[in-house]
Each structure stands twice: as structure tokens, then as C-alpha cells.
Chain A
Amino acid sequence: MKEEIKKDLLELFCHMSASARGCVEEPKLYGPLRMIDSMEKMIQLLEKRGLADDFLKEEKEKIKEGKYLVMRDREAFVKFLDELVMDFTKKLKES
């Protein structure tokens, strides 16, 4: 179990560091894309271990759908990010 967590985290950190390096040269909007993609991966990691609640599962699905907007509709992508921020902010306020 411990080894599996370690492996999953290594994959995540590899993804995040490669994303950070890529953002130096990639289009500006790829920065937000990489961040929410990392969020999705983190939620997946929690889900795999039964640690994600319904809210996180819903947000993961929302990210999975919404992230591709970056490739076809900039305005819609930004709106989707705004909604995501509010989802997490409201949840934080409730907690």
C-alpha cells in the first residue's frame, strides 16, 4: 500500500514538474489547464483510496469535461474556471 501511494505520488510530481517546465514556453492558457489537470489527478488519487467525497467526485467530473474548452472556446474556459473557484470557495465557507 505504502509503495503504491509512493508510486502514485511520484507520477503526480513528475506530471506537475513537467507541467511547470512546459509552462515556460507553452501558451499562457496552458498554465491554468495544467493546474486543473493536476487537481483532477489529485482527486483521482483520493478516490482510489476511498477518500474523495461526493463533492470532490463531482468536481473531478466537471474538470474532466471542462478542461477541453481551452482548445476550442477561450471565454467558456475562463467561465468554467470562475465556476470552479466558486464551487471550492463555497465549500470552504461551509466547512
Chain B
Amino acid sequence: MTDLLERIAGRRSIRSFTDREIEGDRIRKLIEAAIYAPSGGNIQAWNVVVLQGAGNIERIKAASPGLLGNPSALIIFCADKRRAYELGGELGRDTLSIMDIAIAAQNICLEATDLGLGSCMIRSFNQNAVRELLELPEAMSPELIISLGYPLDIPEPPPRRSVEDTIYYWDKVKSR
């Protein structure tokens, strides 16, 4: 069994893909990975839009400057703000729904890596424009796009901060 940390470290943001279509059962598996992600208050206030048609993807790309390359599928995470507020109040609507999406998206990207797919998370897109193109209701807010495809080019890992550098303190308690 491959070490989980190795898989996590092996994930890359892929922006160059082959023309090969992603099979429907694989897309389904990715969404399955997302639903097992932790959710604040178990509210699960998100839905996804899946796009695989080239025309639809091109339109979303036009409104999404951060969406680079030629993905064969997009999974667009939308926060259901109404559900998030009804079940989680302001914290649910403004914070937890976004955190839930981020965690679920990471599950998708890890599962994609495991399936030999490339993925990239994108937040540089115009939310109003994407909502308009997808004809989403007001309460459904597009928050994150994951572009997917079979990788053509896997980039070198970018520099990462060391573990030591990220620890602000570890069990440091002031003595009185």
C-alpha cells in the first residue's frame, strides 16, 4: 500500500491535459470522495455542477482567468447559502460552507491523483459571470472550480515551507 503522505505529496496542480475524455464512473468516484469529507455541523451545504462538453467548458473558461489549459471536465463547487444559513446560521453561511468545499475539493484532487487524473483548483473566476452562465439561483454561489483531465505534463513540485517554518509554537506554555 502506498503511503498516504506520499500520495498527498505527489499531487500536483495540473494545467496541461490530453484530449482523452474522463469516463463517467470516474467522475462519479471523484464526487463520492468529496461526500466523505468532513463537514462543519454535518450541514453539507454544497452541490456540484459537472461540465464535460467542450463548448460549455470554453464558456466557463472565458469567465475564469485562472482556468488555464485544456481540461476535459470541470467540477464546479457551489455553496448552497440558504441551506448553510438555515442549518448553520451566519457561521455556516459565511465560513463553514466555504471550508467544507475546500476540504471536499482536496478529497477530489487526491482521488483524481489516485485514478491517474490531473486536477487543479481554481478560485480566480468571476462568480457573477459563472452564476449567469450556469443559470444558478441566487442562493447557489459558485465558489471553486476543479479542472480535470488526463495529464500531459506533470510539473516539478513548487517550493514548500518546512515543517519547522510552519510551527508558530508547539506546546509552549508560559510558566507563572
The residues of B that contact A68 with a CB separation of less than 8 Å are 15, 68, 155
- A-side interface residues, number (CB < 8 Å): 17
Residue in A10, A11, A34, A72 whose beta carbon sits within 8 Å of that of B65 in the complex: A34
The residues of A that contact B125 with a CB separation of less than 8 Å are 18, 22
Q: Is the interface of A mostly helix, strand, loop or mixed?
A: helix
Q: Is the interface of B mostly helix, strand, loop or mixed?
A: loop
Nearest B residue to A20, CB-CB = B65
Residue in B58, B64, B155, B156 whose beta carbon sits within 8 Å of that of A18 in the complex: B64
Docked pose: A68 CA to B124 CA in angstroms: 15
B62 is an interface residue with CB less than 8 A from chain A: yes
Residue in A11, A21, A67, A71 whose beta carbon sits within 8 Å of that of B59 in the complex: A11
A26 is an interface residue with CB less than 8 A from chain B: yes
Question: Which B residues between 98 and 130 are near A, CB-CB below 8 angstroms?
Answer: 124-126, 129
Docked pose: A11 CA to B129 CA in angstroms: 12
A37 touches B129 (CB 8 A): no
Rank and list the top 5 A-B pairs by shortest CB-CB distance, nearest first.
A14-B62, A18-B126, A11-B62, A19-B65, A72-B158
Residue in A18, A67, A72 whose beta carbon sits within 8 Å of that of B129 in the complex: A18
- Given A14-B63, A15-B61, A72-B158, the answer on whether A22 and B68 have CB atoms closer than 8 Å is no
The residues of B that contact A15 with a CB separation of less than 8 Å are 61-63, 65
The residues of A that contact B15 with a CB separation of less than 8 Å are 68
B158 touches A22 (CB 8 A): no
- Given A18-B125, A22-B124, A37-B68, the answer on whether A71 and B158 have CB atoms closer than 8 Å is yes
